[in-house]
A and B are shown apart, each in its own frame.
Chain A
């Protein structure tokens, strides 16, 4: 896999089917429905004061949900470039407009936080970047978090470079 910027486009090329599939999993991975621990993390309490939390749930949380959904939809639309069977995914290139960078950062963060909360990863596990993804479903989830983090780092670097 190669990742680079060309003008106003971020490109991920030479994607093998495994990494392409991980990318395609981003929108699904942001789904926190039915996972209270993930919901609690994505929509964390703003205060220890009950009154503030109650107002927040009524007025702010719906706005946050809209913001997160919009980011995920933008990413899902970009990922449509990867639709197809496994064979057609060999050496494919994903092109992300730089103007979608914020949506990607947001969706990747949603996915990382949701996966981490669902799996109850410890800080030590999250700092273990050398674990193989093929050991177990849990190891694969950890690899997914690290891979998405790697993409975030790349996007952040490109945003900072202007």
Chain B
């Protein structure tokens, strides 16, 4: 099927309309998007075991990996838990705030 169709409007008169052209899928958009990272910051109130459990639940990390990030937060003040597209980063930060962790999303320079 052609991209241009002839449509008869009335007898003896024709006009042409362009058939809708499907825009290219948004594939590649994510790659073009500026990457973001999810950062969790140290907090002297939240328990270490609690923070580990939250990392396991939110990111699906195995216990060892969740503990590594928890210890990085504890000793270095912050840890980058995830990086990628903004929407997903916002989703993760919202989840972390729901668990009352200090979390932010940051643009990766």
Q: A46-B93, A109-B50, A152-B50 are in contact. Are A116 and B98 (CB under 8 A)?
A: no
- Please tell me which one of the listed residues A113, A127, A159, A160 contacts residue B100 in the complex, with CB atoms under 8 A apart: A113
Once the chains bind, are A153 and B49 in contact (CB under 8 Å)? yes
Interface positions of A from 107 to 162, Cβ below 8 Å from B: 109-110, 112-113, 116, 121, 123, 126-127, 145, 149, 152-153, 156-157, 159-160
Q: A156-B53, A160-B53 are in contact. Are A64 and B98 (CB under 8 A)?
A: yes
How many residues on chain A are close to B (CB under 8 Å)?
32
- Please tell me which one of the listed residues A43, A47, A126, A153 contacts residue B45 in the complex, with CB atoms under 8 A apart: A126
- Please tell me which one of the listed residues B50, B90, B99 contacts residue A46 in the complex, with CB atoms under 8 A apart: B90
- Please tell me which one of the listed residues A43, A48, A127, A159 contacts residue B53 in the complex, with CB atoms under 8 A apart: A159
How many residues on chain B are close to A (CB under 8 Å)?
20
CB-based A-B contact count at 8 angstroms: 62
Interface positions of B from 14 to 59, Cβ below 8 Å from A: 44-47, 49-50, 53
| Main DSSP-derived SS at the B contact region | mixed
Interface status of A19 (Cβ within 8 A of chain B): no
For the complex, what is the distance from the CA of A126 to the CA of B46, rounded to whole Å?
Answer: 11
- List B residues at the A interface (Cβ < 8 Å): 44-47, 49-50, 53, 90, 93-94, 97-100, 102-107
